[in-house]
């Protein structure tokens, strides 16, 4: 096994220990509390083992069973927690052991001096309570620590008196050494706990910032997708309200564009080629709609629907719609070719009142309804390839700026005979927007 493998296994081990007992549903604060308490359990167990080893090496062996039992209780409670995942019981028992065992060990050894300040280890209980439970709940543990300290000081003489009669006196050198050891041990554990807490909080903050950035990225992506489906103002209303969106517009110009003989053209193509052709054509139409400040409504098979007057981008939307229609016609005739055939379109434009709104709760679309929409659609279906046909309302509005062929009377299903006008182009000397 290589050194890299050893390091990897080491990291996996410590990560496993650090995250032991942590559930996916835990809050960041609870995750930190669990991780800290397991870390503290490991530190104190190691320190207790080291203290016991040194204590034996220096000669005195009385009361040595207490640190050993302390270790067994700490590890045993940790094992029960990992099996039951009852964190509340785990932390209450661990903090209780942190608090009471050092005082019991001190009482077994005599007074404060002979026990070398062993009760200092109990200070880890209120400090741990701040980290593992919370600042407010930690007050009770701090008062318990003060009570036991005062109790030990008050009755130390009587406790020590009875023990001195049966136990050998602890050498002064040993007391001084262990006082320094206890002080250094408690200080080190407090420092390491606080450092660990600070590092974990920094990691949590980093993860939180990364999650926030990812969330913001996904939100921006969703926003872009929504704006590709719906007009901007409609998208904002949909995000801020669950009410049905249906608006009436008194004057809107609606255009339908239909690719001529699309079915016949598509017969010689595979599905991927058909999709690629339509995507290229409609993407070009989308660019033109954006160029002229118009609103794409939808595509239906090989048909394309766009409208002007739904937003406030421009007031001459009827002119813009005709300009766009003429450019679309020329674009397909010159730049698009399938099986050596140039694509042609029928285009119909109608102007009048419409109702615009969002249909459905899932896979919703923004659509238009009304007689104006029906007229534009039927003018398109009855149109001539390569011609841009407009209804009379549209003609009256734009006739001063566009040239037209002689008016034509066509029959529209459900409408009867209707006069339509076929646009040629802008009048000489007039440039479109």
C-alpha triplet 9, 11, 17: angle, nearest 5°:
105
Are 259 and 207 in a shared domain?
no
Are 325 and 367 in a shared domain?
yes
* Residue 23 belongs to some domain of the structure: yes
The answer to whether 247 and 355 are in contact (CB under 8 A) is yes
Rounded-to-integer distance, Cα 35 and Cα 196, Å:
9
Mean pLDDT, contiguous 10-residue spans, the chain (433 residues): 55 60 78 82 81 66 67 85 88 88 76 67 86 86 88 66 51 66 79 81 81 81 68 68 76 92 76 83 90 89 90 86 92 69 85 86 79 92 90 93 91 87 84 51
Are 378 and 302 in a shared domain?
yes
* Residue 184 belongs to some domain of the structure: yes
Which residue shows structure tokens 């262990």? 178
Rounded-to-integer distance, Cα 28 and Cα 138, Å:
20
Query: For residue 306, what pLDDT is reported?
Result: 94
Query: For residue 433, what pLDDT is reported?
Result: 46
Are 198 and 334 in a shared domain?
no
Query: For residue 399, what pLDDT is reported?
Result: 92
* Residue 237 belongs to some domain of the structure: no
* Residue 232 belongs to some domain of the structure: no
Are 130 and 40 in a shared domain?
yes
Are 268 and 354 in a shared domain?
yes
The answer to whether 312 and 284 are in contact (CB under 8 A) is no
Q: Residue 20's domain spans which residues?
A: 3-219
Query: For residue 137, what pLDDT is reported?
Result: 85
Are 289 and 352 in a shared domain?
yes
* Residue 203 belongs to some domain of the structure: yes
Are 213 and 249 in a shared domain?
no
Domain end among 184, 219, 254: 219
Query: For residue 166, what pLDDT is reported?
Result: 47
* Residue 34 belongs to some domain of the structure: yes
Are 207 and 285 in a shared domain?
no
* Residue 233 belongs to some domain of the structure: no
CATH number of the domain bearing residue 296: 3.30.70.1230
Domain end among 182, 202, 219: 219
Are 213 and 258 in a shared domain?
no
Rounded-to-integer distance, Cα 324 and Cα 316, Å:
12
The secondary structure of 269-320 as a DSSP string is S-HHHHHHHHHHHHHHHHHHHHHTT-EEEEEETTEEEEEESSSSS-S-HHHH
Are 287 and 347 in a shared domain?
yes
Of 91, 89, 94, 56, the closest CA to residue 73 belongs to 94
Are 25 and 134 in a shared domain?
yes
* Residue 240 belongs to some domain of the structure: no
Q: What's the total number of domains in the chain?
A: 2
């Amino acid at each position: 096994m290589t050194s890299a493998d050893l390091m990897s296994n080491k990291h996996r081990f410590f990560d496993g220990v650090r995250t032991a007992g942590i559930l996916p549903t835990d809050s960041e604060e609870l995750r930190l509390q669990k991780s800290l308490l397991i870390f503290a359990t490991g530190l104190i167990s190691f320190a207790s083992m080291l203290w016991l080893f040194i204590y034996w090496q220096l000669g005195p062996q009385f009361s040595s069973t207490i640190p050993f039992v302390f270790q067994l209780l700490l590890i045993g409670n940790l094992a029960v927690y990992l099996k039951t995942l009852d964190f509340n019981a785990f932390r209450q028992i661990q903090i209780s052991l942190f608090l009471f065992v050092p005082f019991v060990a001190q009482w077994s050894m005599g007074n404060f001096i002979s026990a070398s300040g062993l009760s200092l280890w109990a200070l880890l209980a209120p400090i741990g309570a701040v980290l593992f439970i919370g600042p407010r709940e930690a007050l009770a543990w701090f008062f318990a620590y003060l009570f036991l300290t005062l109790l030990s000081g008050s009755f130390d003489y009587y406790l020590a008196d009875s023990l001195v009669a049966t136990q050998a006196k602890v050498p002064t050198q040993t007391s001084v050494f262990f006082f320094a050891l206890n002080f250094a041990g408690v200080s080190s554990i407090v420092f390491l706990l606080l450092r660990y807490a600070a590092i974990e909080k920094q990691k949590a903050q980093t993860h939180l910032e990364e999650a926030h950035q990812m969330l913001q990225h996904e939100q921006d992506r969703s926003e872009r997708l929504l704006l590709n489906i719906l007009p901007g103002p409609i998208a904002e209303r949909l995000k801020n309200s669950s009410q049905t969106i249906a608006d009436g517009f008194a004057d809107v110009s609606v255009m339908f564009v239909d690719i001529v003989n699309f079915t016949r053209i598509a017969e010689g193509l595979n599905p991927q080629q058909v999709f690629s052709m339509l995507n290229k054509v409609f993407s070009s139409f989308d660019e033109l709609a954006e160029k002229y400040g118009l609103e794409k409504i939808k595509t239906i098979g090989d048909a394309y629907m766009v409208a002007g007057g739904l937003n406030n981008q421009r007031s001459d939307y009827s002119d813009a719609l005709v300009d766009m229609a003429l450019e679309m016609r020329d674009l397909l005739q010159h730049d698009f070719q399938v099986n050596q055939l140039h694509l042609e379109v029928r285009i119909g434009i109608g102007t009048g009142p419409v109702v615009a709104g969002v249909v459905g709760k899932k896979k919703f679309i923004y659509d238009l309804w009304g007689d104006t929409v029906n007229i534009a659609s039927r003018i398109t279906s009855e149109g001539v390839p390569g011609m841009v046909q407009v209804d009379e309302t549209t003609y009256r509005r734009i006739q001063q700026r566009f040239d037209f062929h002689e008016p034509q009377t066509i029959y529209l299903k459900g409408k009867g005979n209707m006069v339509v006008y076929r646009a040629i182009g802008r009048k000489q000397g007039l440039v479109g927007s």
